[in-house]
Amino acid sequence: MSREYNQVPAPNVLAAWLEDARTRTLGLVADLSDAQLLGPRLPTVNPLLWEIGHVAWFQEKWVLRRDGAASVRDDADTLYDSAAIPHDVRWDLLLPHRPATLDYVQRVQERVLDVIHGGMDEADAYFVQLAIFHEDMHAEAFAITRQTLGYPAPTISSSVADPRSGGPLSGDVRIPGGAFMLGAPRDPGFVFDNEKWAHPVEIAPFGIARAPVTQAEFARFVDDHGYERRELWSKEGWAWRARKEAEHPIHWRRSADGWERRAFDQCVPLEPNWPMIHVNWYEATAWCRWAGRRLPTEAEWELAASSSEKRCYPWGDEAPTGERANLDTRSLECVDVGAFPASDSAFGCRQMLGNVWEWTADAFLPYPGFVVDPYKEYSEPWFGDHKVLRGGSWATPGRLLRNTWRNFYLPHRADPWAGFRTCAIDV
């Protein structure tokens, strides 16, 4: 099915997306105990029981209650409004138990489906998509939480090709640069406010890696005492490393047979040809200095992915499939960086969507003429101190993504499924 920028999904497509998002949400938590659904109080995760209710509340707020209507639950606003309830307080709330939470979730979904099938107007269609994409982002957060807390891997998946097939993919492609329209075109399809709007930038010619940095490549940096060499780190990065006493990436440990990493609740040998994952921006930039490379700018990344033709996806305008990208929690893990040749961009860059998020050099800032969308908490509060990631991971729903999509995290965060691809330093 084609997914042009200006395509507005039909009601039956939106209904299928809504149901798929909810199936994924519930599948990612179905095997967890009540204690695990609450979990420990940590700064980078939410209590999963709260988060399940929050995605339903968000759908209510934007699809069902824009005119001030009452909630399905009288206490929903005091329980699930993320803008009003500080993060640390969420463990202290008198949250409904699992059956009552799931009942709330189900009742909201049924009413949203009634809106979809009842003759939506343009505003309804926009906010239904917002609600679905919001739930998609939380689904990826559920996977991150399970990894952070060392819970078992989720039981949902539909297999992809052998994750160890594909091998490495070395070398750069040369991109001529020139005038480029960075950002989303002014078409009627759904895009987030931080993608608006396409505006001209000038890009110098550059070389960019065909694939992300692999775990084997990053291990050589670690073994070369990269974490101990002050000259490789920015001032802020070195302060982070010292504060954390970091000697290697999060989730790594050295065994008698070499480096291992923790994958959910299991320790496994490093997969040499997989992309580096769970690495923060400071670590990525330190590796780049060690290797004589650099991170791409946002504009360089987007040009490499979409070319001057402004393709919706690296391979063209056809929607992601299991043959093109490792997305949609199909595999519950990464694959070799050389896999998915059908994902190649016009310039020959592989896996620019899926498998692993990719840090860029740039701070998360508004584009010229930025105007905040109705969901004002989405972008504006985070401008300035966050860094931009592009591309998506194996845990990202494919319907969420396009070449212009911008993710953003603080530079010290290594819990997302994040890695990086690099550029040559021209001399």
Per-residue pLDDT tens digits for 366-424: 999 999 999 999 999 999 999 999 999 999 999 999 999 999 999 999 999 999 999 99
Residues 129 and 18 in one domain: yes
Mean pLDDT of 351-373: 98
- pLDDT category of residue 1 using cuts at 50, 70 and 90: very low
What is the mean predicted confidence (pLDDT) over 197-223? 98
DSSP letters along 178-231, please?
Answer: EEEEES--S-SS---GGG---EEEEE--EEEESSPPBHHHHHHHHHTTGGG-GG
Q: Per-residue pLDDT averaged across 21-49, rounded?
A: 97
> Tokens in use for 334?
């990464």
Residues belonging to the chain: 427
Per-residue confidence (pLDDT) for residue 427, from 0 to 100: 62
Q: What mean pLDDT, rounded, does the chain reach?
A: 95
379: exposed, middle or buried (Cβ count in 10 Å: 0-12, 13-18, 19+): buried
Q: What percent of the chain has pLDDT over 70?
A: 96
Could you tell me if 143 and 283 lie in one domain?
A: no
**Residue 394 belongs to domain spanning:** 172-215+275-424
Q: Please determine, for residue 155, whether its predicted confidence score (pLDDT) is greater than 80.
A: yes
81 and 194 share one domain = no
The CATH code of the domain that includes 66 is 1.20.120.450
Residue 331: inside a domain: yes
Q: What is the pLDDT of residue 160?
A: 53
119 and 180 part of one domain: no
| Same domain for 97 and 44 | yes
User: For strand 387-390 and strand 357-363, is the pairing parallel, antiparallel, or unpaired?
Assistant: antiparallel
CATH of the domain at 409: 3.90.1580.10
Query: Cα–Cα distance between 44 and 147 in angstroms, integer?
Result: 12
Q: What are the distances in angstroms from CA 24 to CA 9, 64, 97?
A: 20, 22, 20
Q: How confident is the model at residue 187 (pLDDT cuts 50, 70, 90)?
A: confident
2, part of any domain: no
Q: Inform me whether the pLDDT recorded for 161 exceeds 80.
A: no
pLDDT tens-place string over residues 273-329: 999 999 999 999 999 999 999 999 999 999 999 999 999 999 999 999 999 999 999
Residue 119 shares a structural domain with residue 189 = no
At 83-127, the pLDDT tens digits run 999 999 999 999 999 999 999 999 999 999 999 999 999 999 999
User: Does residue 203 share a domain with residue 77?
Assistant: no
DSSP state of 61: I
Query: Amino acid letter at 150?
Result: G
Does the residue 164 lie in any domain?
Answer: no
**374-382, long-range: CB < 8 A, 24+ apart:** 374/62, 374/127, 375/62, 375/130, 375/134, 377/82, 377/83, 378/192, 378/193, 378/194, 379/192, 379/193, 379/194, 380/193, 382/408
**Residue 188 reports pLDDT greater than 90:** no
| Domain annotation covers residue 416 | yes
Distance CA 238, CA 285 (A): 11
249 belongs to a structural domain:
no
Q: Could you give the number of structural domains in the chain?
A: 2
- pLDDT grade for 2, boundaries at 50, 70 and 90: very low
Comparing 163 with 422, the larger pLDDT belongs to: 422
Reported pTM: 0.96
Same domain for 111 and 68:
yes
Residue 184 and residue 110 share a domain: no
Handedness of CA 380, 353, 171, 262 (dihedral sign): positive
333 and 191 within one domain: yes
SS3 assignment, position 150:
coil
- Per-residue pLDDT at 3: 43
- One domain for residues 365 and 402: yes
Q: Which of 148, 182, 201 is the last residue before a domain boundary?
A: 148
Four-CA torsion 319, 373, 111, 68, nearest 10 degrees:
180
Q: Evaluate whether residue 159 is within a structural domain.
A: no
Number of H helices and number of E strands within the chain? Answer: 10, 13
Type of residue at 294: R
Q: Is 267 within the bounds of a domain?
A: no
Binned at pLDDT 50, 70 and 90, residue 165 comes out as: confident
Residue 237 has pLDDT above 90, yes or no: yes
**Residue 283 shares a structural domain with residue 134:** no
**Residue 304 falls inside a structural domain:** yes
